Amino acid sequence: MKNFFIIILIFVSCTIAQTNNGSVAKNTLMVENHDTIPSGAKKLILSYPALNLKYSDNYIIFPDGEKIVYDDGRKKGFIEQLDDCDIEDMFSMKYDTVSMQPKYLNDCGRGRSEQFFKKVYGKSAAEVSANLEKVNWFSQQIPMTKINGVSDTLKIIAKELAQKPHLKKYFEKSSSFYWRQVRGAKRLSAHSYGIAIDINVANSTYWLWANKNKSETDSIKYANKIPLEIVRVFEKHGFIWGGRWYHYDTMHFEYRPELM
């Protein structure tokens, strides 16, 4: 009888040890997998849950199997990083919501992986247009993409801003979708994807207007007339503001939750 109890005891101890070892090994594996995903890829995956993205072996993978290289491994200068931006490059700068003036050459969000944005929002004006929805924006109808809930998010922003009637003049003559390249560059503007809105140009500043003939790497003067209470409403809902760029464009807001 005594021997029988010893055998039972040994059997139970072995089972507990196996379970512990098994779960420890499993947890270690999960931590390892989690940690091998670069932080930019994690932010992208978490910021666009509707896209159901995955990461593996330097690729961002879409549910249809299409893969986009995360990091092309190339070292780039300031202009090259804007013109030939991979997903990793999009996260090379920090979106700074604290400084009242952008730091030298901090243009976080001005770089976009064209391959990623075309895949998500459309590869042509016609493809993007197929997903546009008109949003009531003060006295206007502003087309924005329905993808990733961008048009719905702009509706919420419009509602919140409408509660501040003293700001109304900033929203007149706004514009949004326009398939075009960035002024003076070959890359597509965020307006091409239906994710950006320009508010009233009359109250806006743009780096080249106040710094004529300056190149992109020159040191420039900053100017802004857009109240921060407008900026904060957009930012709360995942839109970045062009007024936070060293190469400022203060009328410009763009849906980029991965950078917030």
Phi, psi (degrees; rounded to nearest 5) at 63: -60, -25
Q: Closest CB to Zn ion among 70 and 110?
A: 110
Q: Closest CB to Zn ion among 78 and 178?
A: 178
Only segment of 58-66, 101-109, 123-131, 196-204 that touches Zn ion (CB under 5 A): 196-204
Q: Closest CB to Zn ion among 88 and 244?
A: 244
Residues 237, 240, 246: CA angle, nearest 5 degrees: 160
Please give the size of the binding site for Zn ion, defined by CB under 5 A: 2
User: Minimum distance from CB of 196 to Zn ion (Å)?
Assistant: 5
Residues 88-127 that bind Zn ion (CB under 5 A): none
Only segment of 39-47, 85-93, 180-188, 250-258 that touches Zn ion (CB under 5 A): 250-258
Q: Which residue is closest to Zn ion by CB? A: 252
| Residues forming a β-bridge with 255 | 239
Q: Closest CB to Zn ion among 113 and 176?
A: 176
Only segment of 4-12, 66-74, 177-185, 245-253 that touches Zn ion (CB under 5 A): 245-253
Q: Closest CB to Zn ion among 244 and 252?
A: 252
Q: Closest CB to Zn ion among 112 and 252?
A: 252
In angstroms, what CA-CA distances link 204 with 51, 66, 207?
A: 34, 39, 10
Only segment of 13-21, 89-97, 109-117, 193-201 that touches Zn ion (CB under 5 A): 193-201
User: Minimum distance from CB of 182 to Zn ion (Å)?
Assistant: 9
| Residue of 252, 257, 258, 259 interacting with Zn ion (CB under 5 A) | 252
User: Minimum distance from CB of 221 to Zn ion (Å)?
Assistant: 20
Between helices 150-162 and 228-236, what is the axis angle to 10°? 140
Nearest CA among 46, 34, 38, 42 for reference residue 257: 46
Phi, psi (degrees; rounded to nearest 5) at 53: -80, 155
| Residue of 88, 107, 114, 198 interacting with Zn ion (CB under 5 A) | 198
Strands 252-255 and 239-241 turn out to be antiparallel
Per DSSP, the three-state class of 244 is helix
Q: Closest CB to Zn ion among 118 and 252?
A: 252
With contact defined as beta carbons under 8 Å apart, do 95 and 240 qualify? yes
Strand spans (E) along 66-212: 67-69, 132-137, 140-145, 196-198
Q: How far, in Å, CA of 187 to CA of 126, rounded? A: 18
Residues 30-89 that bind Zn ion (CB under 5 A): none
Only segment of 30-38, 148-156, 164-172, 246-254 that touches Zn ion (CB under 5 A): 246-254
In angstroms, what CA-CA distances link 201 with 21, 175, 206?
A: 64, 9, 9
Whose tokens are 């993205």? That residue is 53
List of residues contacting Zn ion (CB under 5 A): 198, 252
